[in-house]
A and B are shown apart, each in its own frame.
Chain A
Amino acid sequence: MRNTGPSSLGEHQRTQRLLWLIRLRWIAAGCLFVVLTAARFPLGLRIPAIQLYIGNAVLLAVNLAYRMLFRRLLSRANRFIAIQINLDLALLAYLLHFSGGVENPFAVFFVFHMIIAGTLLAPRSAYLEAGAAFVLFAVLLAGERAGFLPRPLVPGFSPAAGAGTSLSYLVALLTAAAAALLGAVYLSSTIAERLRRRDRELETAILEKSRYVQQVSHDIRGSISAIQSCLRVVLDGLGGPMPDGARSMVARAERRSRSLLEFADDLLYLSLLRAGEAIGKEPASISGLFGELALGMQAEAQKRGLSLVAEDLSGGKTIAADAEAIRRALRCLLLNSLQRSPAGGTVTARAESAPKEIRIRISDTGPRLSDEELPHVFDDFYSGETGGGLGLAIAREVARLHGGLVRVENGPQRGCAFIVTLPS
């Protein structure tokens, strides 16, 4: 059986889970403070305030420590979560004891911890947590009943002395506690396991689809490549003389096959990105990439009667990136802006450095995008009035794989700007 606990997860998922647990604890600590204060003042219950506020403060302090330590302990997330849950159980027992004893309506909170354990830990570890919670509950109950852990009575809240002293009541209480703890772990871990299995199936399906697309686009690419090679030989006159009419038709076929080849290339590249096979990060200078690309695209801009202005204000900052992927993404964005702009227009590309990121803004003088178009510009095969193909989808995927994003916004009067943000 595969280990389905957090250790088998990716770093991103482990981070999310740990942060979720820490967030839950902030909420719990906040609620505890409100309840304690309400019990003390508006309700006027005589609770042992100092001990309970100390418990509250400890909860806040340990959570702060978890938050500060979590990156370092990410590689041992499974054990880190188990330790947190154990400490939470101990703190809950402490708070229950000082708020009138473990026979307390708030004892139901043990179940929350079991749900958390069932969701975040491997089933075996979660059942161990249920065992630990039960032992804690039983020991506290026995201690309070036998008198070696005298519970502070809260008048008006604690059960009256002598209530529920029969053996059958105690057996029922312990049985109910054991059933609730085990039941919570069983249900939550079963549901979590089903969801995880569904996730894995989905991931596999996406990967298979991606491989299928890779294979198809690779095969198509091979054939178009052969067609291109043959047509180039004919157009270069190496296959013998050809009448002008025939040459014009062959030239059309060659142009079409070239754009089909670019499409197959894009499709193959996008599917590789999505299968996680095309990215390898190394320090890359945005200035270098940017300058090289802006220079390389000048001919394309001139051909379309456009001016291409490149401003590099990134200050030579280096980021961990796949240089080829970034070059490809920026090329797609620049090409898109050049295609969108009518002759005589300007495309401006500006690279800027911000404290924790690098921003590349490519603005054009083409038409503004409609409200219907804006959310779909980066979709696969997006083909509105002013764009098409897979270039923008590639740009989005590359940005995402670098922990950044790409967005589009309309200019005040005309044109729009595509903005790529990459963490530095």
Chain B
Amino acid sequence: MEQKAKILIIEDDQDVSEAMRVALEARQYQVDSATDPQLGLGKVRQWRPNLVILDVMFGRRQQAKGFEAAIQIRRDPEIAAIPILMVTAVNVKYPGFNFSPETDGEYLPVDGFIEKPVQPQDLVRQVEELLAGKTSRWKQWPKSDA
């Protein structure tokens, strides 16, 4: 069977990562994963996936390393065009850290958001759309405040 696009999942919760992997592999996507943004960035540069699924909060201390990773991808011309699907716990305001995809999302260089808990059908639909080049919202990034 012909293998479809390559997808890299950067997510520190290995169960969530595995659930996404199974859902995507069932659709014949090639999937690899990384549990840390730095390892993930290395894999993006080496493996050159067609899409990156990126979590926001990492580690026990719940640091928003996902945003920085997204910006690093966009700043590297070799990998800047790879679409990013960001995984967020929407409606959840982390202690001392508020983020809302509807408003703050406009300022982030990512192509789409997917909510946790991840619904496989929603994940597959968004992945298909992004790979078909249906959204390219980050190209307006950085959006000016004016």
**Which of the residues B92, B98, B121 comes within 8 Å of A268, measured between beta carbons?**
B92
| Minimum distance in angstroms from A248 CB to a CB of chain B | 19
Contact B91 A214 (CB under 8 A): no
In contact, B23 and A277 (Cβ under 8 angstroms): no
In the bound complex, do residue B93 and residue A232 qualify as a contact, i.e. CB atoms below 8 Å apart? no
Whether, in the assembled complex, A403 has its beta carbon less than 8 Å from a beta carbon of chain B, the answer is no
CB contacts (< 8 Å) of B62 on chain A: these are 218
Chain A residues lying within 8 Å of B93, measured Cβ to Cβ, are 268-269, 272, 277-278
Q: Give the residue of B15, B91, B95 whose beta carbon is less than 8 angstroms from that of A265.
A: B91
CB distance B91 to A233 under 8 Å?
no
Query: In the complex, A230 Cα to B18 Cα: how many Å?
Result: 8
Would you call A230 and B19 a contact (CB within 8 A)? yes
- CB-CB < 8 A to A224: which residues of B? 117
Q: Majority SS of interface residues in chain B?
A: loop
CB <8 Å contact, B94 and A238: no
With A225-B16, A233-B23 in contact, do A218 and B95 touch (Cβ < 8 Å)?
Answer: yes
Q: CB within 8 A of A232: which of B15, B91, B96, B120? A: B120
Q: Give the contacts of B1-42 with A (CB-CB under 8 A).
A: 13, 15-16, 18-20, 22-23, 26
- Size bin of chain B's contact surface: 20 to 34
Q: Is the CB of B15 within 8 A of A230?
A: yes
Q: Tell whether, in the assembled complex, residue B117 and residue A232 are in contact, meaning their CB atoms are under 8 Å apart.
A: yes
User: What sequence of 0s and 1s flags, for each residue 99-129 of chain B, a beta carbon within 8 Å of any chain A beta carbon?
Assistant: 0100000000000000011111100000000
**A211 engages B89 (CB within 8 Å):** no
- Give chain B residues whose Cβ lies under 8 Å from the Cβ of A211: 95
CA distance A269 to B92 in the complex (A): 8
Q: Given A229-B116, A236-B120, A261-B117: A214 and B15 within 8 A (CB)?
A: no
**Chain A residues whose CB sits within 8 angstroms of the CB of B13 once the complex forms:** 222, 226
Residues of B within 8 A of A228 (CB): 117
Q: Map CB proximity to B onto A230-241 as digits: 1 under 8 Å, 0 otherwise.
A: 101100101100
Bound complex: CA of A268 vs CA of B93, how far in Å? 8
- CA A269 – CA B93 in complex, angstroms? 8
> Are B118 and A229 touching (Cβ within 8 A)?
yes
A221 on the interface (CB 8 Å rule)?
yes
Nearest CB of chain B from residue A296's CB, rounded to whole Å = 14
Count how many pairs of residues, one from A and one from B, have CB atoms less than 8 Å apart in the complex: 67
| A227 contact set on B, CB distance < 8 A | 15, 117
Give B142 Cβ to nearest chain A Cβ, in Å.
23
B113 to chain A, nearest CB (A): 15
Q: Which residues of B contact A230 (CB under 8 A)?
A: 15, 18-19
B22 contacts A233, C-beta separation under 8 Å: yes
Over the window 252-279 of chain A, the binary record of Cβ atoms lying under 8 Å from chain B Cβ atoms (1 yes, 0 no) is: 0000000001000100110010010110
Known interface pairs A221-B89, A221-B92, A226-B16; A236-B117 also in contact (CB < 8 Å): no
B23 touches A236 (CB 8 A): yes
Does the CB pair A229–B20 fall under 8 Å? yes
Q: Are the CB atoms of B23 and A238 closer together than 8 Å?
A: yes
How far apart sit A227 and B117, CA to CA, in the bound complex (Å)? Answer: 8
Residues of B within 8 A of A75 (CB): none
Q: How far is the CB of A154 from chain B (nearest CB, A)?
A: 67
Known: A221-B89, A225-B16, A226-B13. A233 touches B120 (CB 8 A): yes
Bound-state CA distance A65–B18 (Å) is 70
Q: Assess the B92–A218 pair: CB atoms within 8 A.
A: yes
Q: Does A215 contact B (CB under 8 A)?
A: yes
CB B22 to nearest CB in A, in angstroms, measures 5
* Min CB–CB distance B84 → chain A (angstroms): 19
CB-nearest residue of chain A to B15: A226
Residues of chain A lying within 8 A (CB to CB) of residue B98: 277
The docked-state distance in angstroms from the alpha carbon of A265 to that of B16 is 18
> B15 contacts which chain A residues (CB < 8 A)?
226-227, 229-230
Question: A34-66: contact bitstring with B at CB < 8 Å (1 yes, 0 no)?
Answer: 000000000000000000000000000000000
Q: Which of B62-81 contact A (CB under 8 A)?
A: 62
The reply to whether B92 and A229 form a contact with Cβ atoms under 8 Å apart is no
Q: Give the chain A neighbours of B89 by CB distance below 8 A.
A: 221-222, 225
| Residue pair B95, A233 in contact (C-beta under 8 Å) | no
Sampled A-B contacts (29; CB under 8 Å) = A215-B95, A218-B92, A218-B94, A225-B16, A225-B89, A225-B116, A225-B117, A226-B13, A226-B15, A226-B117, A229-B15, A229-B116, A230-B19, A232-B19, A232-B117, A233-B23, A236-B121, A238-B22, A238-B23, A238-B26, A239-B22, A265-B91, A268-B92, A269-B93, A272-B93, A272-B95, A275-B95, A277-B98, A278-B93
Task: Identify the B interface with A (CB < 8 A).
Answer: 13, 15-16, 18-20, 22-23, 26, 62, 89, 91-96, 98, 100, 116-121
Beyond A218-B92, A232-B19, A272-B95, 5 extra complex contacts between A and B, CB < 8 Å = A225-B116, A227-B117, A236-B23, A265-B91, A277-B98
